[in-house]
Amino acid sequence: MNRYLLSALVVSTLFLIISGLFWNDIITAAVDHPGGSVSFYIDSYGEVLPTIDSEVARAHRVFERVRAVADKNTRRLPKLVVVDSKADPWAIALPDGHIVLSRKAIAICHRQTSQGEAEARLAFVMGHELAHLARDDFWHREVFAFVANIRGAENIAQVLRKEQSKSIEKELAADDAGFIYAALAGYPVDRLIRTIDGKPQFFEYWMHQTHRRANGKHPTIKKRAELLLWRLGDLKDKIVLFEYGVRLSHFDYCDDAIYFLRAFQKTFPGREVLNNLGYCYLQIARQAMEPERAYFYWTPLLMDAETRVKFLLRRGGLSIKMLRQAASGTAQGFLREATDYLQRAVNADPGYLPAKINLAVAYLYLGRPHSA
């Protein structure tokens, strides 16, 4: 090998190793930065426990419901801490897995509104931070604080400043995800972006309160509201996919129903669509079985004909529950698909009866009565 080429390779390799070690130190320092740990906020403000404040207790209950349906980061389990900061409303996701919410933020969510809307406000705010947590959208702030104090690191700081433009996209993505998380958890988040009697909606009011010292890292209030209004319209357009899936399932066209239900799942992966997908796979599994086995467990299956999206869109109507008798069922594979979707539906809402019943039936067919 040409000795000059060899020298270049050696130098390049050393540069990459040194750079890798340097950036590893930076990321480690980001996690270890005082503001990246919940103890910093507890020590600074003091924690408010749910046992001493009913509004804080409500925030914790809402958090548990939203966390159940939110995307998860396998490196950490999200936890909520409320601190006694009354001067300014704020919420933040931390690298250690905590969502920290100020007491003032909770007070604003409860201001001049019903309990149901207060919970929807809390669900959106915490859903937004859970989205940041799931996507690691916090480390660049700590890195900037770290490198800005290093002598000779001006070039690195300039690079990171350029990254701030990406924060706008991240904030919009977190809004979108938080909106969906809150809706999946069953909260009427449509109320947060509708103007009532000419008064600013909560979304606009919250942004004014929390971004009075706005900078280039956050999108405008108008842009954020427009995004959520677009999302609401997109849900309205896509709900027909869910309805087609339900109708096809009702007439035992489960293969076709799965196509439409999966398409709707990409937009709104709620408990109902997960349950109905599990229902379809359970029916297909029965059809792949010998008749003696297919009819061994003569138990009803529950399909949910309503999705929470309908309530967001104010379409009204009565909730319809359809009991389906055992159909007929290469069954093991379909049964596994059924249990996967049904278990996810139960995880999203442990009290959701249709999914629990269907999951029990699927486990019986799998020869796992104790799991049922």
Residues 191 and 251 in one domain: no
pLDDT for 170 equals 82
Q: Distance between CA 254 and CA 237 in Å, rounded? A: 22
Residue (of 140, 248, 235, 155) closest to 190 by Cα position: 235
Q: Assess if residue 225 is contained within a domain.
A: no
Burial of 285 by CB count in 10 Å (0-12 exposed, 13-18 middle, 19+ buried)?
buried
Same domain, 101 and 143: yes
In this structure, the answer to whether residues 103 and 154 fall within a common structural domain is yes
Other beta carbons within 10 angstroms of residue 80's beta carbon come to 21
Residue 63 has pLDDT above 90, yes or no: yes
Question: Is 139 in the same domain as 247?
Answer: no
Check residue 128 and give its pLDDT.
92
When comparing pLDDT for 51 and 6, which is higher?
A: 51
In terms of residue numbers, what domain contains 318? Answer: 238-365
Could you tell me if 207 and 253 lie in one domain? Answer: no
What's the structural domain count of the chain?
2
Do 281 and 151 belong together in one domain?
no
Phi, psi of 323 (to 5 degrees): -85, 130
| Of the candidate ranges 30-34, 157-161, 310-314, the one whose mean pLDDT is the lowest | 157-161
- Cα 62 to Cα 255: distance, rounded to the nearest angstrom: 36
**pLDDT 10s digits, 79-115:** 999 999 877 788 888 888 899 999 999 998 998 888 9
Q: Choose between 25 and 254: higher pLDDT.
A: 254
Residue 321 has pLDDT above 70, yes or no: no
> Is 24 a domain residue?
no
Looking at the fold, whether 45 and 164 belong to one and the same domain comes out as yes
Same domain flag for 119 and 200:
yes
Rounded Cα distance between 338 and 332, Å, is 10
Residue 262 binned pLDDT confidence (cut-offs 50, 70, 90): very high
Mark whether 44 and 147 lie in a shared domain: yes
Does the structure show a pLDDT above 90 at 323?
no
CATH number at residue 344: 1.25.40.10
pLDDT mean across residues, the chain: 75
Query: Does residue 195 share a domain with residue 61?
Result: yes
**Confidence (pLDDT) at 125:** 93
> Is position 28 within any domain?
no
**Whole-number pLDDT of residue 137:** 76
pLDDT at 285 over 80: yes
| Residue at 211 is within a domain | yes
Q: Which residue has the higher pLDDT, 368 or 95?
A: 95
pLDDT at site 300? 67
Q: What is the pLDDT of residue 144?
A: 43
* Average pLDDT score over residue span 111-120: 89
Q: Please state, in angstroms and as integers, the Cα–Cα distance from residue 301 to each residue in 42, 254, 333, following that order.
A: 49, 14, 19
Q: Where does the chain show beta strands of DSSP type E?
A: 79-83, 91-93, 98-102, 301-304, 321-324
Q: In the prediction, which pLDDT does 195 show?
A: 58
Residue 148 has pLDDT above 70, yes or no: no
Residue 3 within any structural domain of the chain: no
25 inside domain: no
pLDDT for residue 306 is more than 80: no
Starting from the edge strand earliest in sequence, which strands make up the sheet with 91-93, in order? 79-83, 98-102, 91-93
- In the chain, the percentage of residues whose pLDDT exceeds 70 is 69
242 & 318 share domain? yes
What pLDDT score was predicted for residue 197? Answer: 58
Average pLDDT over residues 273-293: 88
Return the top range by mean pLDDT from 4-18, 30-44, 105-119. 105-119
pLDDT of residue 15: 38
Question: pLDDT tens digit string along 38-55?
Answer: 888 899 899 999 999 999
